[in-house]
């Protein structure tokens, strides 16, 4: 976060950083211009630790500063590794998102020149490299950025160049806005929302000179000016509040029926007809597609795995879900007529963005399915499907995941409709009814204490599924790991006796996802193999003779899948609370993953 203007800079920086806390971090700090020097305060831990330190030792009244919440890559979590970092003179300060991959070589070079390095980070090196630069701050940062390999968003200030910040981007996001008297810059537009209604976004290979009332953007390679377009900033700037739910995770879990209605609004009518033309997705486009490649990570990948099942089943359209981080290294060819679908909650997931760019190079058209229509993935795609899930604060996704499932089901239905293989109207009418059913289901949903205690004390938890339920099992396992730190794994049910059964004893709960009744008989057999070894067996959906049976009020496949996700999400938070874990910001995790 950066600010130049008449307001006390420390207050603005802390206000912006509070709105970025949801991304996950382990330390925080600010640097303020102070009469020819830099005031620096950095603390490991939560932002409130920094605020407490500033309350004890108030910062100077300053009108220019930069701030940062760090997610550790190079160097451990400590005060001296926290950002911002300064040069030897203490007159240049920088903050950095990303990873500088040639940091080892740059470090050796700086040490040989006599620089005193105070941290183990790659980021500090930038401040010292700027010390040796020639020209003004923009020219110096341009030279330094071209020497840095990897991914970065860099924001720099020099106390000898007042009322001016300079930022440069390669991969990691940067949003910038200004009024006549102020200028703001942040890694996410939400941080600017209290003060601005619109902003620009830097694209890769761009550098910005930021002053009150004046933002100039240039190409990094030759410093030629670039015209930028203003984009609206969503939200009114009010701080989100978990309210009676206590945590954002529980709040967002309960908000899912509302989000489901929003994602269907205007896209699915009362007669079961799908219309995605508002998203630029016309039937002639869908008819021309010969293959679909989904690019995603984490929960988004699980939603895509469900979509692969559906496309194969109801459209007979070849599709695969690719782990985005592996896509560039394993695929050097895409068939003509391939549509790449990049799925990301934040629209900034670096692995998915890199896979999107690779798919473009291989000739694919790209559809972005994101919850942030102004994001980088959206801006670099041919078509954008906005999830409309509403802002999601908790690092562990709930409503973004399930709205992705619905969006992909609507896309599947649109493919089927365009190819004269429409889904039965009753199925899509049932989909419209799912939010109402889910509200009643959620209001009554409570998990037994013995299940929560068993999972909380378990050395591990096994999730099983077949077909669409394998992706649901994977999502349930991921949620439990993220929130409760309990080791868990998801397996195709048929694999249980081919190795994983060796892990099963009376201490290991086995949770079977059975929302597709076509697989009930075989899933019952798999669960019986586990319970015969003493496992606490749980079945979600079809009756399988489990120790605990969680029946669902809908039998239609997509409706049952969505409802089946709810007890899995609830289990994760219940177990996490039983173990005393933080809910909204699990250790070591970040909401928007912008490093590879």
The 10s digit of each residue's pLDDT in 348-381 is 898 999 999 999 999 999 999 999 888 899 999 9
- Asked if residue 252 and residue 205 are part of one domain, the reply reads no
Confidence of residue 25 (pLDDT cuts 50, 70, 90): confident
- Asked if residue 20 and residue 128 are part of one domain, the reply reads yes
Residue 269, pLDDT > 70, answer yes
Residue 592 covered by a domain: no
- Asked if residue 432 and residue 363 are part of one domain, the reply reads yes
Residue 44 covered by a domain: yes
Residue 425, pLDDT > 90, answer no
From CA 189, how far away is CA 199, in angstroms rounded? 7
How far is the CA of 282 from the CAs of 154, 277, 415, 418, in angstroms?
Answer: 40, 5, 10, 9
Confidence of residue 596 (pLDDT cuts 50, 70, 90): low
Residue 344 covered by a domain: yes
- Asked if residue 279 and residue 208 are part of one domain, the reply reads no
Please give the pLDDT value at position 81: 95
Residue 403 covered by a domain: yes
Residue 556, pLDDT > 90, answer no
Please give the pLDDT value at position 374: 84
Please give the pLDDT value at position 424: 86
- Asked if residue 437 and residue 454 are part of one domain, the reply reads no
From CA 34, how far away is CA 255, in angstroms rounded? 45
Confidence of residue 239 (pLDDT cuts 50, 70, 90): confident
Residue 191 covered by a domain: yes
From CA 239, how far away is CA 248, in angstroms rounded? 12
* Among 419, 441, 406, 454, CA closest to 562: 406
Omega before 84 within 30 of 0, i.e. cis: yes
Please give the pLDDT value at position 217: 98
Question: pLDDT tens digits for 71-109?
Answer: 888 889 999 999 999 999 999 999 999 999 999 999 999
Residue 424 has phi, psi (to 5 degrees) of -55, 130
Residue 93 covered by a domain: yes
Residue 592, pLDDT > 80, answer no
From CA 496, how far away is CA 592, in angstroms rounded? 34
- Asked if residue 52 and residue 116 are part of one domain, the reply reads yes
From CA 319, how far away is CA 333, in angstroms rounded? 15
Question: pLDDT tens digits for 376-407?
Answer: 999 999 999 999 998 898 999 999 999 999 99
- Asked if residue 191 and residue 257 are part of one domain, the reply reads no
Please give the pLDDT value at position 589: 82
Residue 272, pLDDT > 60, answer yes
Of 192, 213, 232, the domain-final residue: 232
Please give the pLDDT value at position 370: 96
Q: What is the pTM of this model?
A: 0.89
Domain CATH for 360: 3.40.50.10490
Residue 133, pLDDT > 80, answer no
Q: Say which residue the tokens 């973004």 belong to.
A: 400
- Asked if residue 247 and residue 273 are part of one domain, the reply reads yes
- Asked if residue 505 and residue 402 are part of one domain, the reply reads no
* Residues contacting 94, CB < 8 A, separation 6+: 66, 83, 84, 85, 86, 123, 124, 126, 127, 130, 154, 155, 156
Torsion on CA atoms 492, 494, 500, 501, rounded to nearest 10: 140
Residue 461, pLDDT > 70, answer yes
Q: Say which residue the tokens 């690719």 belong to.
A: 322
Residue 593 covered by a domain: no
Residue 240, pLDDT > 90, answer no
Please give the pLDDT value at position 520: 94
Of 182, 205, 232, the domain-final residue: 232
3-state secondary structure of 186: strand
- Asked if residue 85 and residue 32 are part of one domain, the reply reads yes
- Asked if residue 374 and residue 479 are part of one domain, the reply reads no
Please give the pLDDT value at position 593: 64
**Overall number of domains in the chain:** 3
State the DSSP H helix or E strand holding residue 452, giving kind and residue range, or none if neither. Answer: helix 449-457
Confidence of residue 241 (pLDDT cuts 50, 70, 90): confident
Average pLDDT over residues 231-251: 85
Helix, strand, coil shares, percent, the chain, to 5? 40, 20, 40
Structural contact between residues 80 and 116, judged by C-beta atoms closer than 8 angstroms: no
Domain CATH for 192: 3.60.20.10
Mean pLDDT taken over the chain: 94
Query: 399-418 and 256-264 are packed helices; what angle lies between their axes, rounded to 10 degrees?
Result: 30
Please give the pLDDT value at position 152: 92
Sign of CA dihedral 335, 339, 345, 348: positive
Please give the pLDDT value at position 338: 97
Q: Say which residue the tokens 């009362």 belong to.
A: 270
Confidence of residue 234 (pLDDT cuts 50, 70, 90): confident
Structural contact between residues 238 and 232, judged by C-beta atoms closer than 8 angstroms: no
Percent of residues, the chain, with pLDDT higher than 90: 85
Please give the pLDDT value at position 570: 98
From CA 326, how far away is CA 362, in angstroms rounded? 15
Residue 393 covered by a domain: yes
Domain that holds residue 474: 449-578
Confidence of residue 594 (pLDDT cuts 50, 70, 90): low
Other C-beta atoms within 10 Å of 316: how many?
Answer: 11
Of 232, 254, 277, the domain-final residue: 232
Query: 9-19 and 47-56 are packed helices; what angle lies between their axes, rounded to 10 degrees?
Result: 160
- Asked if residue 266 and residue 189 are part of one domain, the reply reads no
From CA 168, how far away is CA 94, in angstroms rounded? 11
């Amino acid at each position: 976060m950066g600010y130049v203007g008449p307001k006390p800079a420390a207050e603005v920086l802390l206000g912006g950083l509070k709105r970025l806390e949801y991304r996950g971090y382990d330390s925080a700090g600010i640097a303020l211009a102070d009469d020819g020097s830099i005031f620096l305060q950095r603390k490991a831990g939560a932002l409130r630790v920094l605020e407490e330190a500033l309350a004890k030792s108030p910062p100077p009244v300053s009108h220019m500063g930069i701030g940062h919440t760090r997610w550790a890559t190079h160097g451990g979590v400590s005060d001296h590794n926290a950002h911002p970092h300064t040069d030897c003179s203490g007159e240049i300060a920088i903050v950095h998102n990303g990873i500088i991959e040639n940091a080892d070589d740059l470090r050796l070079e700086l040490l040989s020149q006599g620089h005193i390095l105070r941290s183990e980070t790659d980021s500090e090196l930038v401040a010292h490299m700027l010390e040796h630069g020639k020209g003004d701050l923009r020219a110096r940062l341009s030279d330094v950025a071209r020497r840095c390999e990897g991914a970065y968003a860099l924001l720099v200030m020099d106390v000898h160049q007042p009322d001016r910040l300079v930022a440069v981007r390669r991969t990691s996001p940067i949003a910038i806005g200004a009024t006549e008297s102020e200028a703001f810059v942040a890694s996410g537009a939400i941080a600017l929302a209290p003060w601005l209604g619109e902003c620009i976004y830097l694209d890769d290979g761009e550098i910005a000179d930021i002053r009150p009332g004046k933002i100039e953007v240039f190409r990094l390679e030759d410093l030629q000016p670039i015209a930028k377009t203003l984009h609206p900033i969503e939200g009114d700037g009010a701080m989100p509040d978990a309210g009676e739910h206590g945590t954002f995770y529980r709040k967002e879990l309960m908000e899912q029926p509302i989000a489901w209605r929003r994602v269907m609004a205007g896209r699915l009518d009362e007669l079961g007809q799908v219309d995605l033309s508002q998203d630029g997705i016309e039937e002639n486009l869908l008819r021309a597609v010969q293959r679909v490649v989904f690019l995603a990570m984490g929960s988004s990948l699980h939603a895509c795995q469900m979509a692969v099942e559906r496309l194969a089943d109801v459209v007979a359209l070849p599709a695969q879900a690719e782990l985005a981080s592996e896509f560039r290294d394993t695929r050097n060819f895409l068939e003509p007529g391939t549509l790449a679908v990049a799925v990301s909650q934040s629209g900034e997931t670096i692995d998915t963005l890199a896979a999107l760019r690779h798919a473009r190079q291989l000739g694919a058209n790209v559809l972005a399915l994101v919850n942030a229509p102004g994001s980088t993935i959206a801006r670099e795609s041919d078509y954008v499907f906005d999830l409309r899930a509403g802002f999601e604060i908790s690092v562990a996704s709930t409503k973004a995941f399930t709205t992705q499932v619905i969006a992909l089901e609507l896309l599947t239905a649109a493919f089927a409709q365009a190819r004269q293989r429409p889904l039965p109207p009753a199925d899509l009418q049932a989909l419209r009814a799912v939010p109402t059913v889910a509200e009643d289901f959620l209001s009554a949903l409570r998990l037994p204490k013995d299940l929560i205690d068993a999972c909380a004390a378990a050395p591990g938890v096994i999730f099983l599924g077949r077909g669409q339920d394998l992706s649901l099992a994977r999502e349930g396992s991921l949620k439990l790991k993220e929130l409760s730190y309990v080791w868990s794994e998801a397996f195709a049910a048929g694999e249980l006796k081919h190795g994983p059964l060796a892990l099963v004893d009376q201490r290991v709960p086995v949770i079977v996802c059975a929302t597709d009744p076509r697989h009930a008989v075989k899933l019952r057999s798999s669960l019986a193999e586990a319970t015969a070894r003493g496992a606490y067996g749980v079945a979600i959906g079809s009756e399988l003779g489990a120790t605990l049976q969680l029946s669902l009020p809908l039998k239609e496949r997509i409706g049952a899948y969505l409802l089946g996700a709810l007890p899995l999400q609830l289990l994760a938070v219940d177990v996490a609370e039983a173990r005393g874990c933080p809910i909204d910001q699990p250790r070591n995790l970040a909401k928007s993953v912008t490093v590879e």
